[in-house]
Amino acid sequence: MLKYAVATAFGSLAIFTVATTVLSIPAYAVDNIESTDAPDLTSVKAKIEAKNYTGALEELRGIAEDTQQADVYNLLGFTLRKTGDYKTALTYYNKALEMQPDHKAAREYLGELYVETGDMAKANEQLATLVKLCPQGCEEREDLEKAIATKVTK
């Protein structure tokens, strides 16, 4: 009986120790980790805004050598698409979406790539995903809807 009581006490102590250790470890959301690791893309975005896609592309390639991040890959895809390199742009959009499947901008831009290359079925697939991601509407969804409507009416 004493053996049973001692074994139970030690077992309970072990469970308590493990539980308090596990519960005291802070939980970090993946978004928090990515946001602290995200590079400063202010300069790149300014170049894109100025339609200096070649300059943005050069800077992004340098950043991508050191940083694997969905926003970087998405902007690489965007600048490559704007310079007419659809095949490589597709690769980078897919990389961004592999890392972050709910990346709304990558979904929009990939859909726009499909519109520009005439693959309306795939453009509509991206739109359907955006409808699920932002059922109340969002800028990315609206922009892709406009791109599709423009292509369909031409």
Name which of 81, 65, 72, 78 is nearest 117 in CA terms: 81
pLDDT in the model for residue 21: 40
What are the residue ranges of helices labelled H in 67-119? Answer: 70-82, 86-99, 104-116
| Model pLDDT for residues 103-148, shown as the tens digit of each residue | 999 999 999 999 999 999 999 999 999 999 999 999 999 999 999 9
Percent of the chain with pLDDT over 70: 74
Which residues, in sequence order, are CB contacts of 33 under 8 Å at separation 6+?
none
Res. 2 pLDDT band, cuts 50 70 90: low
Q: What is the pTM of this model?
A: 0.74
pLDDT in the model for residue 38: 77
More confident residue, 4 or 105: 105
Domains along the sequence of the chain with CATH: 37-153 (1.25.40.10)
CA terminus-to-terminus distance, the chain = 87
